[in-house]
């Protein structure tokens, strides 16, 4: 049996694209030139993705200003001063703050999918941001004339539209980024905020058919950015029971960077239901060392001791550059790690197939 393997999404952008985006934001670079540079980088990213042998590829999120805020980029009803997320090296990221209603996306993920489709016939995966992450845009004090309840209703409609557009455009998989899952436990150890996030995301997911949900998945990690994380200290034990209540088939879980992988895998074994599939992280994007093929193989074999093969897949722990300006990882390094994942997963599949064949023969 071949073990499925998929990327999480983002690839470090070349400096040319980062600079062009900054100039475009400042009104210096025309839209036409920005589009041309972006298309060239997307084409190069897809070609390099294909060369890794990855059965499913992405556009590397090259054109996204950020994995989290692409839907509200340049929105007129957004202002600075939103939630601040702190990372363990001391740097922070600040979300924008909603100033008034109605809440509407300015950009839908299907636009990135359509742009990537021009350069490949391979199956394309598209990442979208979760409704729960965007719920953090509403300020702590109620906006006059636009209640939080109305905002959440609008948010659910927009999140459904974002996912539906990707499915209708033929995405091979749609991944909902839920890195705020562990962050929720950091902010509120009682689990109340996490449960609210799960309920909100299920409001979105319940709008899709059982057949649709076979292509949907949720990604959870401790949030990687500039070589640091925002919630690596939060144990999986508090997250997984709530996470597996999400109404999707696929779960993409950070694992390579975990200190106690065996304990986490055991918990997954005890929680996973027969209709669910877990893609375990076998590549650590933060670690500057490229994992060997044998190392990836061994991580897959470890996971296979706990998760049935028909429910097991592999992935990267996180995206390599979820924010556009994050140049902490080189592009060459990212693609080398992806190639190691693909080859190591294939080697593990061969090893497990041989072992099964030997057992059956005896």
CATH 3.20.20.210 for domain 4-361, yes or no, is yes
Q: Residue 217: pLDDT above 90?
A: yes
Phi-psi region of 273 (alpha: psi -120 to 50; beta: other; left: phi over 0): beta
Confidence of residue 200 (pLDDT cuts 50, 70, 90): very high
Confidence of residue 204 (pLDDT cuts 50, 70, 90): very high
Confidence of residue 179 (pLDDT cuts 50, 70, 90): very high
Q: How far apart are CA 9 and CA 60, in angstroms?
A: 5
> Looking at residue 354, what is its pLDDT?
82
Is the CB of residue 61 less than 8 Å from the CB of residue 107? Answer: no
Q: Residue 8: pLDDT above 60?
A: yes
> Looking at residue 264, what is its pLDDT?
97
**H-type alpha helices, 214-258:** 236-243
| Bridging pattern class, strands 97-98 and 78-79 | antiparallel
Confidence of residue 360 (pLDDT cuts 50, 70, 90): low
Domain boundaries, the chain: 4-361
Query: Which residues does 80 contact at the CB level (< 8 Å), separation at least 6?
Result: 94, 96, 97
How does pLDDT run across 89-136, given as a tens digit for each residue? 999 999 999 999 999 999 999 999 999 999 999 999 999 999 999 999
Task: Give the global pTM.
Answer: 0.96
Confidence of residue 15 (pLDDT cuts 50, 70, 90): very high
> Looking at residue 259, what is its pLDDT?
87
């Amino acid at each position: 049996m071949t073990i499925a393997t998929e990327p999480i999404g983002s690839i470090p952008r070349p400096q040319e694209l980062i600079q062009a985006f900054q100039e475009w934001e400042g009104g210096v670079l025309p839209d036409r030139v920005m589009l041309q540079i972006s298309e060239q980088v997307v084409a190069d990213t897809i070609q390099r993705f294909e060369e890794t042998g990855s059965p499913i590829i992405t556009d590397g999120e090259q054109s996204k200003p950020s994995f989290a805020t692409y839907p509200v980029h340049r929105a007129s009803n957004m202002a600075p001063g939103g939630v601040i997320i702190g990372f363990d090296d001391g740097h922070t990221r600040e979300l924008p703050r909603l100033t008034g209603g109605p809440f509407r996306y300015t950009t839908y993920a299907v636009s990135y999918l359509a742009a990537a489709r021009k350069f490949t016939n391979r199956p394309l995966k598209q990442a979208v941001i979760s409704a729960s992450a965007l719920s953090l845009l509403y300020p702590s004090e109620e906006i006059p004339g636009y209640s939080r309840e109305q905002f959440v209703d609008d948010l659910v409609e927009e999140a459904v539209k974002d996912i539906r557009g990707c499915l209708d455009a033929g995405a091979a998989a749609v991944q909902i980024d839920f890195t705020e899952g562990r962050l929720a436990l950091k902010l509120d150890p009682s689990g109340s905020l996490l449960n609210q996030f799960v309920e909100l995301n299920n409001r979105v997911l319940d709008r899709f058919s059982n057949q649709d949900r076979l292509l949907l998945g949720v990604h959870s990690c401790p949030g990687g950015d500039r070589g640091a994380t925002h919630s690596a200290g939060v144990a999986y034990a508090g997250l997984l029971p709530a996470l597996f209540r999400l109404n999707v088939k696929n779960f993409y879980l950070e694992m390579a960077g975990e200190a106690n992988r065996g304990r986490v895998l055991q918990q997954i074994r005890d929680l996973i239901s027969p209709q669910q599939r877990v893609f375990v992280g076998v590549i650590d994007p933060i670690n500057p060392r490229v994992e060997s093929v044998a190392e990836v193989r061994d991580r897959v074999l470890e996971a296979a001791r706990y998760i049935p093969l028909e429910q097991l897949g592999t992935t990267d722990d996180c995206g390599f550059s979820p924010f556009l300006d994050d140049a902490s990882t080189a592009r060459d390094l990212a693609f080398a790690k992806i190639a190691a994942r693909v080859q190591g997963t294939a080697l593990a599949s061969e090893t497990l197939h041989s072992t099964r064949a030997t057992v059956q023969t005896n």
